Structures are given as structure tokens and as C-alpha cells.
């Protein structure tokens, strides 16, 4: 943002302005004497460059209070950008460390399951949820004397004991975790070390149970070692890859633009000091190198400031959690190649930006010439950048990520194209501001003050909002791609949470156990009703097959009428009724051919749930059984076979029953689902309580969304901080002018409104430009992933509103220091 007297020219200003803050006439010195033929001009060598840059560095620290103020401003601005770049450079090591530990603690039983023996352990997953967080857990029992233990613990926990992560221990010991403690009937024997956790805030536990308790565990396996196979070959969906690439471009471009802007803080005062060097014999090239040396010193000091802030924030970020992600402090370490690139690029860019900026200024021994007739900014090269970006992105339409070859090259091409398009959008801003403000005419005094300053020098005002322009443009495009990828990554589950909210599958030995499990769940606080379903198998009692696999089988479902109505289209039901259910009312396939009214079926099965030839336990299907059509249950599944009420079939006669409970909760009871989970532990230590939801998202998309949210928050904070630093630097430069205007009777409100208008004009133009650039980039990105054009107008309005809000907040924050600078003390000088 810029004030009413910001006359600093930029590398692309293409014109000159006035240097003095009081409107003094410009003095032009006599051109220096050309060199004699005996002394031809020579190009400066490395030694001369080094000496001049070192002299500029000395001026940055020995040039008095003004030099120090400018150096500190530059260092703070560059330091803020470097801090975020270092965190971005740490992402590869953070991800690598987290992935390595996650693979080390994985226990998915890859490959062939080993035979139980002295070196194996019997394990089962026992994950659970508590409110809005996930808790990972496993129950285990050793098979012998040398069982492998999970990483981070000293051994396999004994029965009735558990190891917990520090975060879970903290939660269990807190008042908030009082309800959760009832879910873990184990004594805490120790804490899991860092090597056994993916992150410091992960909630994880390992519990020991008896071998007998595994009888009620539906799925378990044996391990002889811990750790997952190498998953480096797993590939993301191309749309997710593009989302990651665009996220990096959108989040880092504003940082780079701000670092380049910070290198030009206080440039106008510096230029007047350089005129004094011309007076004592320095030529124009030497003064430019000295100015570059000042910027170089400020950027190097900014590197130190950024590294210091990074180390301080690293301690705060390590151990913190945001959106379910956390990292150890040791993980937050910049990748060496990326850190080296930052160390080399930031000072080099500061030198380059300073030299380019000084090309538009004539620094003479008696002053800085800025009163020449301004030249129109050139449009052609500004249009060339977005056109090149479109040229790189257009060939990827409909083919991004297709095939395994060229994937990395396509990612680089997409990143380069997006960067050129966004940079080109930003480069158009100075031309657009100049073209618009030159048409401004009459108006109020504050309006005239603001527009006149913009007409004289609009470059600084445009540069002040360039960061927010590129950020909003990128955010709009990212929002369009995000909405499309979210639709791809979100699947409809066909579940109906209005009919039931929780569902559980339980392994039971007999019908009595099933009834006991249903009673325990129904007694949990907050449960309104339980849909009790017990499923088993029946086989053809008259089959002549000798091989059990050749005997026809079907399913038998025993439940009350309310539950059966949730599974089939039943109009009339009372205890004692039975139904023959098919997914199609006309279906007469072989599975149902033997299960018909009045037929005898066999309910005897072995432990492997296979019918045993020669061993029968007969049951006659009631002749009153009606044929009905299947209905999707609350989880979206279809059931078929024989449906019977408890009066028609005794559930205790089922050989290997499977109990299914669908629970309806009372919405007025808080934490009703937590009470149900606590009750489920009394039935089986690994009972899985499933939340019935209408849609689900892929875990990869959720992780990328969380990372992008964290990065966008950091970038937005940087933009706000950078604009505050820019505003303070501009106010400091025009402190004397503001005091003079107030001394002559100008009202403070007039100056305040003029600054607001001077800020608002570039902001409005910048947001309009970012809207156009963002929509163009968004359309190209959607074409690349083969998605139809879809604009999230609500998200687009939100992105634009956030950009405008940041500018407004920074402007309001600058008013108190502005009023202090209008005091008469500002007229003092040395």
C-alpha cells in the first residue's frame, strides 16, 4: 500500500518522478569529462564489484539512523519471506520422517501369514474414535517367548496392560478424557516412544489381552515382524497431483514477490544519498553497485532474521497439531538443496532488483533527476507472460497425468505455466493502474490528493498490492480445481443416517451371546432403539453332493419386525412370520430354489461355516412364508435369503451366527455415540463401531486439503505482516511531508481519507485483475483434469472478500502511526 507522496520508481516504471518531499526544483549536474584516449573506460572486474558491494554494505550500517532504519526494514521484510520459504523447504523431510515412522509401525500382515510360534505375536486392529479425533490401537497376545514388539515400546504388553502415546496419556488424565477412560479397561504400563509414533500428537495405544479374548475378535492375524512394505511406488490420482503442484505455486509466488519488494524499501532516501557519492567522484555504475551492496547486506541480514525466526517457530510448530497433522521438531529441517537455493537466490534477487530499479533513475552529483516526461508503460511484454503460460498449460488439456511416462515433466510444465500466468497477471497491474488513474479528474480534496499521487507515481502503489493480487488470483484458480477434485474424491455411500446412526458387526458363538450384546448396547446412554439382526447360513438338506463346496447354501436372517422392515419391503409382519427375500421379485436362481415355503433346510455348519455332509439339523420353512423384495438397509446394503422372526426360528439354533446392530441415537444426549463405544468394549475389545454417513472422502484428499489450509493460512499471515511492514516504511519516508501539510492547516481526516483512496484504487483494480486471471487459470486446470467448467461463486466471492479484507485491516492498522507522524516534531531534521 502507498501513501500520498510515494515517488519511488520501480524497474518497470518507465518514467521518472519528483525526488524531494517538498517539491523542490531539480538540479542537473554538468556531465563528467569523457575519458581521454590514453585512459579508455574499462569494465569493472570481480574485485571492483566486490569492493563496491562491500562499500554499500558499510554504508548500510554506518550511514546513520536513516540507513539503519532502511536496513532493518529490509531485513524484517526479507526475513518474513525467508521464514516461510524455509518451512516450505522442510516439507520433503517432514513428509519423509512421518512416512518412515508410519511404515515402521504398520502391521498389516503383508505376505503369507506365519505359523504361530515362539517368535510370533497374535494381533488385531482396535481403532476407535473419540469425538472429532481418531485413536489408533491394537490388541495383542504373544504366541511364544520371543514375540516381536512394536516400535517405541520395550516389549509386548501383558494381558490387562497397555502402552499409550504421550498425547493419549495426556487426554486420559484430563477432565475431557474422563468419558474416554471407561473405554480402556487396561492399566497404563508405559509410554510409546517417538520411534513408534507418526507425530507427537498422535493418539495411539497397544493393549495386551488373553488368547481366549481373541475368540470374540472377528479378524486377527499373526506377525513375526513389524513394518510395512515399501509404498514409495504408490501413485496419487493425477487430479490430486495437480492440486499439490498448484498449491505450491499459489502459496510460494506471493512470498517471492514480497521478498523482491522488500529489497526496495527506502529506495528514495537511498537515491539521495547516492547523489552525494556522485559529488565526490563516483560514476553512475559505481553508485548502482554501492546501492546493490546496501540491498545485499539487508538481504543477508534478512536471511539471518529468517533463519532465527524459523528456529524459534520450529520449536513452536514441533509438537503442535493443526487439522490432524503434527510433526516432531527433528522432522522440521530444510532439505539441503532447497536451503542452499534459498541462501543463494535471495541475495542475488535483491541485487538484481536494485540494479533494475536504478536503470529508470538518473543519479547526478547535485540531485536525482525525476522530473522528465514519463513514458508510457509497455504492454506487449506484459501480455507475453500470460500468453506463454497459457501456451504451456493448453497442451496438457485432458491429458495431465495420463500414462506413467512424462509425469514429472508434466508437473514441471504445469507449475511453470501457472507461474507465468500468475506473474503475467501481476505484471499487468502497474499498466492497468496507470491507464485508469490518468483518466481521473475532479473530486473532493482527499480524492484529488490520492489520484494526483497515483498519476505521478503509480508504480509503488501497484507493487504494494501485487502480492495480494497474485495470491487471490491463484486462490481463485485453486478453489475451482479444489471443488472439482473434492467432487471426484467424495463418494456417495448410499447410507441413510436418518434411519440409523451407528452400526456394528459382532462375532458371537450362539444366539444367547447375540441377545446379551444387543441388551448391553441398548442400555447405553443416549440409545433410543436397536435394530437387532442375527445372521446365519442354511444349506440344501436334500443335496447329494459329497464336496461341501458343491452344496447349495443361502442366508437366514432372524430379527424382529421393526428390523425386518428396514431390510425388506414388508407390509404386514408379526412374530412367527417368515419371508423369502430376493433382490428381484422375479428372481428364481439356484440359491433360492431349495429355500421355499414348506421345504426342509439344514442349519448345521462346521467351524469354517461350511455344510457338513451327513450331519444335519433340519428346520422347515413355514408354508406361510411370503416372497418380498429386498430393501437397502441404513448402510446401503441389500440382503436376501430367508427372513424369520424369533417366533418362527430360535436364534440359538444357528451354528455360527453373526450379530449386526444398527442403533438409533437420541440427538438430545451429547456424546451418545461415545457411550455406545464404551459399551462395545464390554462385548469385544476390538468391536468396530461404524458411523453411518451419506458420503466419504479419500484420505489422500483430506491430507492434501489440510496441508493446503495450513499453507494458505501461513501465506495470508505473511501477506498481512508484509503489508504492515511496507506501510510503516512508506509512512516513515513521508513523515516530514505529512507534518508540513498539517502545519499549513490540512486536516488530518483529509490526509487519512486520501491514503485510503490511494490504497483502494489499486486494490480494486488488482482484485478485478486477479478475478480475470484466476478464472482463466481455473478453466485451464479443469480442462487438464478433464472436468467440466464449474465456478464456485461463493468460494470466489470469499477469496475476493478475504483479499479486500486484508487490505482494509492493514489500512486501518496504519492510521494510528500515521496520526503520530503528523505531529510538528516531524519537521525536525539533521
Quickly list DSSP for 612-641: -TT---EEEPPTTPEEEEB---TTS----E
Please list, in sequence order, all residues whose beta carbon lies within 8 angstroms of the beta carbon of residue 383, skipping any fewer than 6 positions away.
Answer: 424, 428
**What is residue 473's predicted lDDT score, i.e. its pLDDT?**
82
Question: Half-sphere exposure of 706 toward its Cβ, with a 13 Å CA cutoff?
Answer: 13
Residues of the chain above pLDDT 90, percent: 20
Instruction: Provide mean pLDDT across the span 448-461.
Output: 75
Q: Residue 588 and residue 780: Cα distance in Å, rounded?
A: 53
Q: H-helix or E-strand containing 539?
A: strand 527-540
Local structure of 529: helix, strand or coil:
strand
Provide the pLDDT for residue 17. 38
Residues constituting the chain: 830
The pLDDT of residue 643 is 93
Q: For 83-103, give one letter per residue: b (16+ CB within 10 A) or e.
A: bbbbbbbbbebbeebbeebeb
Q: Is the pLDDT of residue 360 over 70?
A: no
The yes-or-no verdict on residue 35 having pLDDT over 60 is no
The whole-angstrom separation of Cα 390 and Cα 777 is 8
Q: What is the 3-state secondary structure (H, E, C) of 292-344?
A: HHHHHHHHHHHHHHHHHHHHHHHHHHCCCEECCEECCHHHCCCCHHHHHHHHH
What's the pLDDT tens digit per position in 263-314? 666 556 666 677 777 777 778 888 888 888 888 888 899 999 999 999 998 8
Which tens digit of pLDDT belongs to each residue from 748-779?
A: 788 778 877 877 788 888 888 888 888 888 88
Name residues whose C-beta falls within 8 Å of residue 119's C-beta, 6 or more positions apart in sequence.
144, 146, 147, 148, 224
- Cα(649)–Cα(644) distance, integer angstroms: 6
HSE toward the beta carbon, residue 432, CA cutoff 13 A:
23
* Residue 684 CB burial class (10 angstroms; 0-12, 13-18, ≥19): buried
**Rounded CA separation 155/431 (Å):** 69
How far is 321 from 170, CA to CA, in rounded Å? 14
pLDDT score at 592: 56
Phi, psi of 165 (to 5 degrees): -75, 155
The domain ranges of the chain are 46-97+235-490+699-827, 108-223, 502-693
pLDDT band at 529 (very low <50, low <70, confident <90, very high): very high
List C-alpha distances in Å: 713 to 297, 340, 364, 475, 512: 30, 26, 46, 12, 55
* 106 backbone dihedrals φ, ψ, rounded to 5°: -70, 145
Q: What is the pLDDT of residue 193?
A: 93
Task: Please give the pLDDT value at position 276.
Answer: 73
pLDDT at residue 759 in the model: 75
pLDDT at 699: 65
If one compares 261 and 434, the residue with the highest pLDDT of the two is 434
Per-residue confidence (pLDDT) for residue 108, from 0 to 100 = 67
The CA–CA distances, whole Å, from 257 to 218, 246, 357 equal 57, 17, 15
**Residue range 783-799, pLDDT digits in tens:** 887 777 767 677 667 76
**Banded pLDDT at 648 (limits 50, 70, 90):** very high
What is the distance between the terminal CA atoms of the chain, rounded to a whole angstrom? 28
Structure confidence at residue 403 (pLDDT):
47
Would you state the pLDDT for residue 206? 95
> Cβ-count burial of 375 within 10 angstroms (0-12 exposed, 13-18 middle, 19+ buried)?
exposed
Residue 289: the pLDDT is 85
Tell me 611's DSSP state: B
More confident site: 227 or 404: 227
pLDDT category of residue 208 using cuts at 50, 70 and 90 = very high
Higher pLDDT, 238 or 162: 162
Confidence of residue 478 (pLDDT cuts 50, 70, 90): confident
Q: Is 442 helix (H, G, I), strand (E, B) or coil?
A: coil
Q: Where are the alpha helices (DSSP H) in 457-589?
A: 459-464, 466-489, 511-522, 561-567
* pLDDT value of position 111: 64
Find the range with the poorest average confidence among 138-142, 492-496, 581-585, 678-682: 581-585
Most confident among 114-118, 256-260, 278-282, 726-730 (mean pLDDT): 114-118
Q: Is the pLDDT of residue 140 over 90?
A: yes
Q: How confident is the model at residue 381 (pLDDT cuts 50, 70, 90)?
A: confident
Cell numbers for 639: 440382503
Position with higher pLDDT, 806 vs 19: 806
Alpha-carbon Rg for the chain, nearest whole angstrom, is 37
Average pLDDT for the chain: 79
* Residues 261, 406: Cα–Cα separation, whole Å: 36
Burial (0-12, 13-18, 19+ Cβ within 10 Å), 581? buried
Q: 575-604, pLDDT tens digit by residue?
A: 999 999 876 555 544 555 677 888 888 888
Give the least confident one: 73-82, 321-330, 667-676, 819-828. 819-828
Spatial distance between the Cα atoms of 563 and 542, rounded to a whole number of angstroms: 31
* Phi, psi angles (nearest 5°) of residue 159: -60, 130
Q: pLDDT over 70 for what percent of the chain? A: 77
Amino acid at each position: 500500500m502507498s501513501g500520498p507522496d510515494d515517488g519511488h520508481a520501480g524497474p518497470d516504471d518507465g518514467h521518472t518522478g519528483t525526488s524531494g518531499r517538498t517539491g523542490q526544483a531539480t538540479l542537473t549536474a554538468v556531465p563528467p569529462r569523457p575519458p581521454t584516449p590514453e585512459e579508455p573506460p574499462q569494465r569493472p572486474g570481480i574485485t571492483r564489484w566486490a569492493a563496491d558491494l562491500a562499500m554499500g554494505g558499510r554504508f548500510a550500517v554506518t550511514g546513520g539512523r536513516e540507513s539503519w532504519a532502511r536496513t532493518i526494514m529490509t531485513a524484517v521484510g526479507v526475513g518474513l519471506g525467508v521464514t516461510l520459504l524455509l518451512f516450505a523447504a522442510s516439507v520433503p523431510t517432514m513428509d519423509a520422517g512421518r512416512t518412515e515412522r508410519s511404515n515402521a509401525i504398520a502391521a498389516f500382515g503383508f505376505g503369507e501369514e506365519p505359523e504361530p510360534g515362539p517368535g510370533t505375536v497374535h494381533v488385531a486392529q482396535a481403532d476407535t474414535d473419540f469425538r472429532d479425533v481418531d485413536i489408533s490401537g491394537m490388541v495383542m497376545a504373544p504366541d511364544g517367548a520371543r514375540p516381536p514388539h512394536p516400535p517405541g515400546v520395550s516389549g509386548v504388553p501383558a494381558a490387562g496392560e497397555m502402552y499409550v502415546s504421550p498425547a493419549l496419556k495426556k487426554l486420559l488424565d484430563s477432565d475431557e478424557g474422563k468419558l474416554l477412560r471407561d473405554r480402556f479397561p487396561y492399566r497404563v504400563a508405559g509410554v510409546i516412544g517417538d520411534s513408534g509414533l507418526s507425530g507427537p500428537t498422535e493418539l495411539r495405544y497397544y493393549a495386551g489381552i488373553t488368547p481366549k479374548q481373541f475368540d470374540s475378535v472377528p479378524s486377527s492375524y499373526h506377525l513375526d515382524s513389524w513394518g510395512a512394505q515399501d509404498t514409495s511406488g504408490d501413485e496419487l490420482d493425477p487430479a490430486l497431483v495437480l492440486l499439490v503442484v498448484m498449491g505450491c505455486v499459489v502459496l510460494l509466488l506471493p512470498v517471492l514477490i514480497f521478498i523482491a519488494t522488500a529489497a526496495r524499501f527506502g529506495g528514495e532516501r537511498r537515491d539521495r544519498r547516492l547523489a552525494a557519492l556522485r559529488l565526490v567522484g563516483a560514476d553512475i555504475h559505481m553508485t548502482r553497485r554501492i546501492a546493490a551492496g546496501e540491498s545485499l547486506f539487508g538481504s543477508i541480514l534478512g536471511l539471518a532474521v529468517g533463519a532465527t525466526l524459523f528456529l524459534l517457530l520450529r520449536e513452536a510448530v514441533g509438537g503442535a497439531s493443526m487439522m490432524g497433522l503434527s510433526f516432531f521438531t527433528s522432522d522440521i529441517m530444510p532439505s539441503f538443496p532447497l536451503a542452499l537455493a534459498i541462501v543463494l537466490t535471495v541475495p542475488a534477487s535483491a541485487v538484481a532488483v536494485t540494479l533494475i530499479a536504478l536503470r529508470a533513475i538518473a543519479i547526478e552529483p547535485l540531485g536525482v533527476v525525476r522530473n522528465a516526461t514519463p513514458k508510457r508503460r509497455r504492454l506487449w511484454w506484459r501480455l507475453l507472460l500470460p500468453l506463454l503460460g497459457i501456451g504451456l498449460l493448453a497442451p496438457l488439456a485432458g491429458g495431465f497425468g495420463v500414462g506413467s511416462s512424462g509425469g514429472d515433466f508434466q508437473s514441471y510444465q504445469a507449475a511453470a505455466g501457472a507461474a507465468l500466468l500468475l506473474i503475467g497477471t501481476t505484471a499487468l497491474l502497474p499498466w492497468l493502474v496507470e491507464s485508469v488513474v490518468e483518466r481521473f479528474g475532479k473530486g473532493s480534496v482527499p480524492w484529488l490528493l490520492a489520484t494526483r499521487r497515483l498519476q505521478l507515481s503509480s508504480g509503488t502503489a501497484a507493487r504494494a498490492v501485487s502480492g495480494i493480487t497474485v495470491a487471490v488470483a491463484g486462490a481463485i484458480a485453486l478453489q475451482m480445481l479444489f471443488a472439482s477434485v473434492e467432487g471426484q474424491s467424495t463418494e456417495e455411500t448410499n447410507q441413510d443416517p436418518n434411519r440409523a446412526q451407528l452400526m456394528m458387526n459382532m462375532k458371537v458363538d450362539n444366539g444367547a451371546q447375540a441377545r446379551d450384546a444387543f441388551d448391553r448396547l441398548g442400555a447405553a446412554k443416549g440409545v433410543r432403539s436397536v435394530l437387532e439382526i442375527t445372521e446365519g447360513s442354511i444349506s440344501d438338506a436334500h443335496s447329494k453332493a459329497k464336496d461341501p463346496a458343491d452344496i447349495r447354501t443361502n442366508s437366514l436372517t432372524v430379527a424382529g419386525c421393526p428390523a425386518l422392515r428396514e431390510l425388506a419391503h414388508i407390509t404386514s409382519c408379526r412374530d412367527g412370520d417368515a419371508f423369502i427375500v430376493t433382490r428381484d421379485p422375479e428372481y428364481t436362481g439356484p440359491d433360492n430354489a431349495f429355500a421355499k415355503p414348506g421345504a426342509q433346510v439344514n442349519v448345521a455348519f462346521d467351524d469354517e461355516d461350511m455344510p457338513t455332509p451327513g450331519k444335519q439339523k433340519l428346520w422347515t420353512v413355514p408354508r406361510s412364508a411370503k416372497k418380498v423384495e429386498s430393501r437397502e438397509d441404513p448402510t446401503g446394503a441389500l440382503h436376501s435369503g430367508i427372513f424369520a422372526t424369533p417366533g418362527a426360528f430360535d436364534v440359538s439354533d444357528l451354528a455360527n451366527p453373526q450379530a449386526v446392530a444398527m442403533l438409533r441415537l437420541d440427538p438430545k444426549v451429547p456424546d451418545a455415540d461415545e457411550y455406545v463405544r464404551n459399551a462395545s468394549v464390554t462385548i469385544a475389545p476390538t468391536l468396530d463401531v461404524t458411523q453411518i454417513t451419506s458420503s466419504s472422502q479419500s484420505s489422500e484428499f483430506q491430507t492434501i486439503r489440510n496441508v493446503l489450509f495450513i499453507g494458505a493460512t501461513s501465506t495470508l499471515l505473511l501477506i498481512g505482516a508484509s503489508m504492515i511492514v511496507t506501510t510503516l516504511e512508506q509512512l516513515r519516508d513521508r513523515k516530514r511531508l505529512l507534518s508540513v501539510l498539517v502545519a499549513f492547516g490540512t486536516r488530518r481526516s483529509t490526509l487519512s481519507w486520501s491514503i485510503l483512496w490511494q490504497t483502494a484504487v489499486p486494490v480494486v483494480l488488482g482484485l478485478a485483475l486477479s478475478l480475470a486471471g484466476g478464472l482463466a487459470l481455473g478453466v485451464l486446470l479443469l480442462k487438464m483434469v478433464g472436468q467440466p467448467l464449474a465456478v464456485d461463486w461463493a468460494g470466489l466471492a470469499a477469496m475476493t472478500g478475504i483479499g479486500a479484507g486484508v487490505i482494509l485491516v492493514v489500512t486501518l492498522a496504519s492510521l494510528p502511526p500515521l496520526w503520530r507522524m503528523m505531529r510538528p516534531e516531524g519537521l525536525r531534521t539533521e
